[in-house]
Amino acid sequence: MNITILDGSPSGSATKLPPLLGRLSAGIREKHSVNHFSLASMDLHFCTGCWSCWWKTPGLCAIKDDAEEIFRAVINSDLVIFVSPLKAGFTSSLLKKITDRLIVLLHPYIEIRNNECHHIKRYESYPDIGLIFEKSTDTDDEDLQIIRDIYERLALNFHSRLKYAMSIDDNTLEEILNETCSI
């Protein structure tokens, strides 16, 4: 199984995510192929909403940065794990930036599914989604539900499933590893 990890930990931040994620990646690599992207060290720009990826150059983003490598890895994965510390009740801007840019992987055309409008697939299959986050001291249950809802909606648009949304720490690392490797 191919797994892509999108690590939205800001560089220099006071987070425990990098060492925990290193241990998680090592455990996953024992059974699966892993592409690990540390977004803080990459040249990534925000989506400009130009729609070139839909109309001018279908499937190709007009912004020339490191996102192209991520797009290829994501669409060729069986599971994409989004990772971020939570700040002000949401994931990091790094993770949000690349999440928005994944729209390139869908068609602009719409179909009705479950009485809702959703994008038509550009590719035959899409990866399932996992979400790993590190809570901040002000994270509450409403924040967690909003984040979970947003990633469930992303999975729905990706014609896939949100397999899990879990907080990571020393106590949950093994549980996340088991959940990931059992997919």
- Quick one: DSSP state of residue 10? P
Token pair belonging to 8: 């939205």
Superfamily of domain 2-181: Flavodoxin domain (3.40.50.360)
Q: Compute CA distances 149 → 65, 74, 113, 162, whole Å.
A: 29, 20, 17, 10
- Spatial CA neighbour of 102 closest among 136, 141, 67: 67
Token pair belonging to 118: 């959703």
Mean pLDDT along residues 131-147: 93
Q: Is 173 within 8 Å of 20 (Cβ atoms)?
A: yes
Return the minimum-mean-pLDDT range out of 91-95, 116-120, 171-175. Answer: 171-175
> Taking 90 as the threshold, does the pLDDT of residue 11 lie above it?
no
pLDDT given for residue 85 in this prediction: 94
Residue 100 Cα to chain centre, angstroms: 10
The model's pTM is: 0.95
> Taking 90 as the threshold, does the pLDDT of residue 13 lie above it?
no
pLDDT digits (tens, 9 = 90+) for 28-86: 999 999 999 999 999 999 999 999 999 999 999 999 999 999 999 999 999 999 999 99
Q: Is 107 within 8 Å of 121 (Cβ atoms)?
A: yes
pLDDT given for residue 37 in this prediction: 96
